[in-house]
Amino acid sequence: MQRVNLSAVSEFVFVGLSDAPEIRLLLFVLFLLIYLATMAGNITLLVAISTDSHLHSPMYFFLGNLSLLDLLCPTITVPKMLGALLLEHKEISFSGCLFQHFSLIAVVGTEIFLLAVMAYDRYVAVCHPLRYPSIVSTKLCAQLALGTWATGLLNSLLHTSLVFTLSFCGPNRIQQYYCDLPPMLALSCSSTHSTELVILVVAGVLGSGACVVTVVSYICILLEILARKSPGIWHKAFSTCGSHLAIVCLFYGTTICTYVRPSSTYSPHWDRVVSMLYGMLTPLLNPIIYSLRNKEVKCALKRVISQVRRTL
């Protein structure tokens, strides 16, 4: 493994989404509005969960963690992208790129593990409703949340150390609007085969483990529904699991398209589109999905908005 050649590449340059000035301004306004809407939606949901006693349960505790991750994910990448669109300041230092890469992988990894924990929570709620308070206790919730964050950070530390110990001595133009994994590997002038292999194995083991937990949880939920054969069971189960299932499909679909493949299949234009989905639209849609599908969240949000109006 070669060490980083800091004298060769001290900064990277993001390739803009468009070089036409009129399109850049339009994109700036569009992405700024999406970013502000994402911040407003997730902050409002966090405030509702923390202040409303009706939402002080394990399900909403994990949802609060998800909202926090959805605040961090676009904040890591979008401000720099907006600066590049408006001010044409497309450069980022080597250390800044390293920090951005580490932060983004940590957030994405933590969200994968958190979605698996939320799937287990829904399994207990549907299959063992009477024992739910004793199984999913406050202590277990804290341990699971801490475990997801710690695993995400350790996974990101491994990925970042592997990528940024490569040599970067050639082109420094990143075919993306942030320091993502595939374009960084594509820029390296040293062999990336062993690095890619380790990353794929680690990501495959951890990601597959989280995916298995999620899939098995929903299989058990489906079997429980089929076994009960009680009237209204499908509607009740869908109201309990529908929002989480929709978020899982959206998140896994966009993440797998971006990361679970070798760098030889890397397509800059396609990756920009896909990264927009999980980097901007997914954090925007998550609070909307939960708000539309959950009456308790709707009522809590109405109370928060009413309180804000009275304060203003």
DSSP 232-278: THHHHHHHHHHHHHHHHHHHHHHHHHHHSS-GGG--HHHHHHHHHII
**For range 275-287, the mean pLDDT:** 79
pLDDT band at 267 (very low <50, low <70, confident <90, very high): low
Domains and CATH numbers, the chain: 14-259+272-306 (1.20.1070.10)
More confident residue, 79 or 2: 79
Question: Tokens 């698996």 identify what position?
Answer: 116
Dump pLDDT digits (tens) for 53-109.
888 889 889 999 999 999 999 999 999 888 888 877 788 888 899 999 999 999 988
Question: Tokens 């710690």 identify what position?
Answer: 150
**For range 124-151, the mean pLDDT:** 92
Average pLDDT, the chain: 82
pTM for the model stands at 0.85
Question: Tokens 């971006």 identify what position?
Answer: 258
The answer to whether residue 154 scores a pLDDT higher than 60 is yes
Dump pLDDT digits (tens) for 217-227.
999 988 888 88
For residue 56, the Cα-to-chain-centroid distance in whole angstroms is 23
Q: Which of 289, 189, 197 is nearest to 239 (CA)?
A: 289
Pairing assessment for the beta strands 173-174 and 91-93 based on DSSP bridges: unpaired
- Give the CA dihedral 165, 171, 176, 179, nearest 10 degrees: 20
**Listed range (5-9, 137-141, 149-153, 248-252) with the worst mean pLDDT:** 5-9
Q: Quick one: pLDDT at residue 5?
A: 41
More confident residue, 245 or 145: 145
The answer to whether residue 261 scores a pLDDT higher than 70 is no
Q: Quick one: pLDDT at residue 3?
A: 43
Dihedrals phi, psi of 3, to nearest 5 degrees = -85, 160
**For range 172-178, the mean pLDDT:** 82
Integer-rounded Cα radius of gyration of the chain? 21
**For range 255-266, the mean pLDDT:** 58
Max avg pLDDT among 149-153, 201-205, 272-276: 149-153
Q: Quick one: pLDDT at residue 181?
A: 81
pLDDT band at 246 (very low <50, low <70, confident <90, very high): confident
